[in-house]
Amino acid sequence: MVMIITVAISASLFFSMKNKTEESIKFSEKINELSGKESHTASAASALRRENINIEKISKFFFKENEISVFIKKVEALGPQSGTRITIESLEKGFTEKTVPLLNFRIKAIGTFSEVSRLLVLLENFPGEIGWNTLRVVREDLEAGAVSRGGAPIWRAEAYLTILNFVNE
């Protein structure tokens, strides 16, 4: 009888201790979670302040829908810089397969071979994420009098490009 009572008391003590411990663990976890959240928020805020310059730089790298005209002006400015006559023939928004916004555009540039080459180098190094879809460089018909001021043959470059640093906002 004494044995049974002892076992019963032990079991009840065990379960009551288990319940109390579980409750206290829950409380301490909640406290840890709250204090953890607070410290994470503080560290995230300080990291954002620290990395502000880089974040600004990256966000400036992308241009929005209302900044397309600025982008076009930058591309058109490559004409005088390279000596070519540049025309933007088409411009259309789109999405990649992974629904990343992009901007497709087709340009035509006319100039001497050296000028066209220079334009292509400038486009290649253009500060943006440019993908080249197609590029066609052809010499204009000399018979039709397509010569430059210096008498060099005239070349025409047609490129279909995709801009990936575009944000559809």
Partner 1 sequence: MNNMNIKNWLKKISFSKGADALKMEITPFRDWKNLVLLFFIWLSVSLVFNIYMSIGVNRDHFFAEPKKVNNVEVLDTEGLKIVADQIDEKAANFEKAKSEKLTTADPSL
For partner 1, the binding residues (CB under 8 A) are: 3, 14, 17-18, 21-22, 25-26, 29, 33, 36, 40, 44, 47-48, 50-51, 53-55, 57-58, 61, 81, 112-114, 117-118, 121-122, 124-128, 139, 152-153, 155
CB 132 within 8 A of CB 106: no
Comparison of 90 and 127: residue with beta carbon closer to partner 1: 127
C-alpha distances in Å from residue 45, one per residue of 21, 37, 51: 36, 12, 10
Nearest approach in angstroms of CB 92 to partner 1 is 24
Comparison of 26 and 89: residue with beta carbon closer to partner 1: 26
- Measured torsion, CA atoms of residues 113, 115, 118, 123, in degrees rounded to the nearest 10: -100
**To 5 degrees, how large is the angle CA 62–CA 128–CA 54?**
55
For the purposes of burial, counting CB atoms within 10 Å of the CB of 137, is it exposed (0-12), middle (13-18) or buried (19 or more)? middle
Nearest approach in angstroms of CB 43 to partner 1 is 8
The alpha-carbon radius of gyration of the chain (Å, integer) is 33
Comparison of 21 and 168: residue with beta carbon closer to partner 1: 21
Comparison of 89 and 167: residue with beta carbon closer to partner 1: 167
Nearest approach in angstroms of CB 117 to partner 1 is 4
